Structure 1
């Protein structure tokens, strides 16, 4: 793999024009217009004063072609599962592969276990994300770490000339850092800590399911002494982040 500075130059001067040329036929199509309206009208939940144990959640995970969406890395699969409070809804799952614009490297295919043929036969980002939004309706999004996944989503939407996703989000990694400041906060150590059954990693639905089980434990711990609201949690995590940056 090229050093990051060369990847940036390669994208800016060679790949970016090709990328936008390939996207152009999708812009202003029916599916593009439908998703544009869906994002504009997406209900931003009023959950500030709602108990964390009474909120509906969508726990989700993305598999991507790299770590930097700003240089053309893409989403190639989305997995999600719904929760009501700390109860996992096993029959409410979502899993879609996304046909990328750029070729996928062998390293990415090996890591995710996906086949090039599977991705080629999959739906476009527009179709997949439209279905994902419908699945998420009426819920707070949760990811581990949400900062990574939401950055990918917002960058992809901008690239496809779509409005940003305006929705409440909880970062389960930030919550774990708040609860267990002296422990490791990546997904794998936390799975071990709570003795959560390990499924095949880097599969979006598997990772979403394991994150959901983890989030159930985090909810139990954060509400054990006080039944906190979403607004209270956001303030706690914000203050923790500010203290860490001092």
Structure 2
């Protein structure tokens, strides 16, 4: 007879029961990005860096920024080092993934309404895979993608390049293929998109959730 270990839930530390009528400019968000050893994170590829920053009242809180390298417990492919600049030496002495994920969720501090990322489904999958390796499952991790808002504002856009979007919407661009750099770029892009969305009728947390649902 097979015996399966019971998975324990890992808290998302997000605010709960936020009134749907809460104005968008009164919400708090935790924006994050990851770098990995490759794209097959559900199987063999692992996290090697995590970066995050908070948004409050449509303002990026620069001094909240968090960055850490992560030990993937495997070799980093040469092409990934060439792309990201992250070396084996930097990760061999870095914390394990669970410690970095715990720091990310502690940033949310039960006051952020959701996590935010650019093509965030990949980053969420990478984190879920790391938690699964620790016999954990992320509990109710609400996330919104900048692509959802771009689809709302400019449906004809069909590219996913973060830097191109940041340039087109006139927002700051930080170091590419750096988890913190991409998190900061995403955060500034997200605040601009939220402001543009307000002009188009997106006023509340409930409105934002509808946009998320309509773009999935």
- TM-score normalised by the shorter chain: which range applies? 0.7 to 0.9
The TM-score, its normalising length taken from structure 2, stands at: 0.87
Q: Which has the higher helix share?
A: 1
Which residue does the alignment assign to 1:11?
none
After TM superposition, list the pairs within 5 Å mapping 1:52-91 onto structure 2: 52-91=24-63
Aligned length: 207
The TM-score, its normalising length taken from structure 1, stands at: 0.77
Is the radius of gyration larger for structure 1 or structure 2? 1
Q: CA deviation at 1:175?
A: 1.4
CA distance 1:232–1:41, change in 2 (3 Å): closer
SS where residue 91 of structure 1 aligns?
strand
SS where residue 156 of structure 2 aligns?
coil
Q: Deviations over 1:154-183 (max 9, x none)?
A: 122112211224232111112112211112
CA distance 1:44–1:199, change in 2 (3 Å): closer
After TM superposition, list the pairs within 5 Å mapping 1:200-211 onto structure 2: 200-211=175-186
Q: Deviations over 1:74-123 (max 9, x none)?
A: 11111011111311111111101101122111111111111211100101
Once residues 41 and 74 of structure 1 are traced to their aligned partners in structure 2, the CA distance between those partners, rounded to angstroms, is 20
Q: Which has the higher strand share?
A: 2
- Let me know the Cα RMSD of the aligned residues: 2.2
Residues 131 and 138, structure 2, Cα contact 8 Å, conserved in 1: yes
Residues 118 and 146, structure 2, Cα contact 8 Å, conserved in 1: yes
1:179 aligns to 2:153 (yes or no): yes
SS where residue 140 of structure 2 aligns?
coil
Residues 115 and 141, structure 2, Cα contact 8 Å, conserved in 1: yes
Q: Which runs of 5+ in 2 are unaligned?
A: 1-7
SS where residue 70 of structure 1 aligns?
coil
Once residues 116 and 207 of structure 1 are traced to their aligned partners in structure 2, the CA distance between those partners, rounded to angstroms, is 21
Of the two structures, which has the highest relative contact order with CA contacts closer than 8 Å and spacing of 6 or more? 2
Q: Deviations over 1:198-232 (max 9, x none)?
A: 32210011101111110011000111143522222
Once residues 228 and 126 of structure 1 are traced to their aligned partners in structure 2, the CA distance between those partners, rounded to angstroms, is 36
